[in-house]
């Protein structure tokens, strides 16, 4: 199913807390639709404890909404930062399993 511009904007509004410049978002999506170039969204976190199932589900739901608009998604895991900050005792192997 292909979404029109306003449907894409509506879906993205469900994900973000705030859209700083709606016109800029509209222009960016129009550019993507015309040029077929890629737009990337990024999200990430530093592991500091076991993730709650609701956090994982909400993140998956939001990523799916973003990708439905044609935006590619990159998820960043700050595992090295967690080790440097002594999360899980600074044990990188444990951090990677969490």
For residue 59, give the nearest of 38, 71, 40, 42 by alpha carbon: 42
User: pLDDT tens digit string along 29-80?
Assistant: 999 999 989 999 999 888 887 778 888 899 999 999 999 999 999 999 899 8
Predicted pLDDT of residue 52: 81
Q: How far is CA 36 from CA 23, 28, 32, 50, 57, in A?
A: 19, 11, 5, 39, 30
Domains within the chain, CATH numbers bracketed: 5-97 (3.40.50.620)
pTM given for the model: 0.80
Predicted pLDDT of residue 27: 97
Q: How far is CA 79 from CA 1, 24, 56, 98, in A?
A: 36, 33, 17, 10
Predicted pLDDT of residue 44: 87
């Amino acid at each position: 199913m292909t979404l029109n511009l306003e449907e894409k904007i509506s879906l993205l509004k469900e994900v973000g807390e705030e859209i700083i410049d709606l016109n800029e978002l509209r222009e960016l999506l129009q550019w993507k639709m015309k040029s077929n170039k890629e737009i990337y969204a990024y999200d990430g976190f530093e592991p500091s404890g076991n993730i709650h199932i609701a956090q994982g589900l909400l993140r998956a739901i939001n990523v799916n909404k973003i990708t439905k608009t044609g935006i590619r998604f990159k998820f960043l895991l700050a595992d090295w930062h967690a080790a440097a900050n002594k999360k899980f005792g600074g044990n990188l192997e444990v951090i990677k399993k969490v």
